[in-house]
Structure 1
Amino acid sequence: MVFLTNSLYFGILITILGYFIGDYLRKKLNLSILNPILIGIIFVGVIITLCKVEYKTYYEGAKYISFLLTPATICLAIPLYEEFEILKHNLKAVILGITAGVLSSLGSILAFSYMFMLTHEQYITLLPKSITTAIGMSLSSELGGIPSLTVAIIIITGIFGNLIGEYVCKMFKITEPVSVGLAFGTASHAVGTAKALELGEVEGAMSGLSVAVSGIITVVLANVFAVLL
């Protein structure tokens, strides 16, 4: 056990194993709540707790997986390239839709912070909740938030969007593929995009575009919202 937990590969092994267990369970039981990322988080948490492994020890191995986050995000450009004609025909709607989504996200955090009397640090930590981790961590750090907590919030937001996004679209009778894709990408970044890709190529392409564009818009507008509390 000591050899295993001190191994450089321990963190990578249990992280990948947890994800594949979640993916298998979702396909086997066909339940959307069995999100592979959610199951992976629970699995890793249980394992390092039972094995009494410190998070720093686990992260020494697992951090190499996070290096793949940026190139994986960039790869979302592939389905966008394949559906580029749709983007050209809906460019104004796409830009307005993403901007509206970003403003809704930042505005809701501002209202929430006033309502529950959060500190400025807590407010800043929550602001990047709907953008990809790679951008959100840096933004939180630069504005004076808590990057490690921001990461957790971003992941929770993504999983939540992945789980309920499809049901929300059905509830409000949103069936247009472009609109569905923009909603997933703007509200729940790359984790939501994974679900959008399951729904269709157009949804996945628009969601991938939203991840990048909403990240850029959030970086600009977050600096404005940061001084409002």
Structure 2
Amino acid sequence: MPSNVLSTLTSTPLFAVGLTLAAYLLGSLLFKRLRNPSWLPAILIAALLLAAALVAIGLPYATYYQGATWLTILLGPATVALGMPLYQQLPRIRELWQPLALCLPIAAALAACYALGIAWVMGASPAILASLAAKSVTAPIAIGITEQLGGNIALLMGALLVTGVVTIPLVSVVARLLTITDERLIGFALGLNGHAIGTVRAFEISPTAGAFASLGMSLTGIFTALLLPLAWRLISPGG
């Protein structure tokens, strides 16, 4: 695409926003045409289509991100809106509050530690480690945490996508192996490990699974936001 045309199109956020929405709608359509494969969620298809479009038209990611930034602002209200299904499922949540409260700190800590451990063994730099630390937290909270740690937001967003996509089939496989059929537990695991992407999958299972996924995602975000920056300062060089 000629540079003058591209410059004109990207002079306002509308082009980046329209490109994003078009990729998402087309990804959702292809996802349905492929009969909803759990290993290939619509958001991954949309991300691949968007990446291909950016390469095809020669639009730098930094320019695209600047135009689409305001879409990330909507992530906060969207996350807060998940409080409604939580309220609707409050009686069921109360039934399991003790085991959920017990497993949450362990699971949330492991979600951060295993990725950091693998990256550290592979010789990743502190900047990369800081970018991966919050990869199991929903994006609005993860971005804030990563900025505090000095990580790279673009790398974080990639890690968030991979984490969410991988979580969906893994939770399904583990649930079958352990013969877990309780939608509350499956939903909680999806939200805790797969943040918003896992939560979307949980709502496809049932409203109950979606509510518990929202709970897992929200509590993981709060727990991680409170403790991860403190733990990072204690263990990082010069901290």
Contact 1:129 1:154 in 2 (8 A): yes
User: Partner letter of residue 57 of structure 2?
Assistant: C
Of structures 1 and 2, the one scoring higher in RCO (CA 8 A, sep 6+) is 1
Residues 133 and 154 of structure 1 are in contact (CA less than 8 Å); yes or no, is this contact kept in structure 2? Answer: yes
Task: Give the drift of 1:114.
Answer: 4.0
Select which of 42, 46, 52 maps to 1:46: 52
Structure 2 equivalent of residue 104 of structure 1: 110
TM-score (norm 2): 0.87
Q: Partner letter of residue 156 of structure 1? A: V
For the 8 Å contact 1:26–1:32, the answer to whether it is kept is: no
C-alpha distance in 2 between matches for 1:103 and 1:58: 33
Aligned residue runs from structure 1 range 108-147, under 5 A: 108-147=114-153
Pairing 1:29–2:6 present: no
Q: Does 1:176 align with 2:182?
A: yes
Paired residue for 1:10? 15
* 2:219 corresponding residue in structure 1: 213
Gaps of 5+ in 1: none
- Larger deviation, residues 126-135 vs 62-71: 62-71
Offset at residue 6 of structure 1 (A): 4.6
Deviations 1:159-202 (A, max 9, x none): 22234432332233222222111111110101100001111111
Contact 2:39–2:165 at 8 Å: present in 1 too? no
Matched, 1:189 2:172: no
- Corresponding residue for 2:91? 85
Alpha carbons 1:185, 1:210 under 8 Å: kept: yes
State the shift of 1:62 in Å: 1.9
Shift of 1:125: 1.8
Q: Gapped runs of 5+ residues in structure 2?
A: none
Deviation, structure 1 residue 7 = 5.0
Q: How many residues align?
A: 229
Supply the distance in 2 between the matched residues of 1:180 and 1:162 (Cα, whole angstroms).
Answer: 10
Q: What SS is found at the alignment partner of 2:218?
A: helix
| Segment of structure 1 superposing worse, 151-160 or 208-217 | 151-160
Post-superposition offset of 1:40: 1.2
**What is the distance in 2 between the residues matched to 1:58 and 1:124?**
24
| Cα displacement (A) at 1:116 | 2.2
In 2: Cα distance, 1:110 partner to 1:56 partner: 26
When residues 200 and 171 of structure 1 are mapped into structure 2, their CA distance, relative to the original with a 3 A threshold, is: same
Query: What is the RMSD computed on CA atoms of the aligned residues?
Result: 1.9
Percent of matched pairs sharing the same residue: 28
1:51–1:210 CA distance, 2 compared to 1 (3 A) = same
Greater displacement, 186-195 / 218-227: 218-227
Matched residues in 2 for 1:65 and 1:143: separation?
23
Matched to 2:25, the amino acid is F
1:83/1:205 contact within 8 Å kept: yes
Q: Which amino acid aligns with 1:228?
A: I
TM-score by length of 1: 0.91
Q: Partners of 2:19 and 2:125 in 1: how far apart?
A: 36
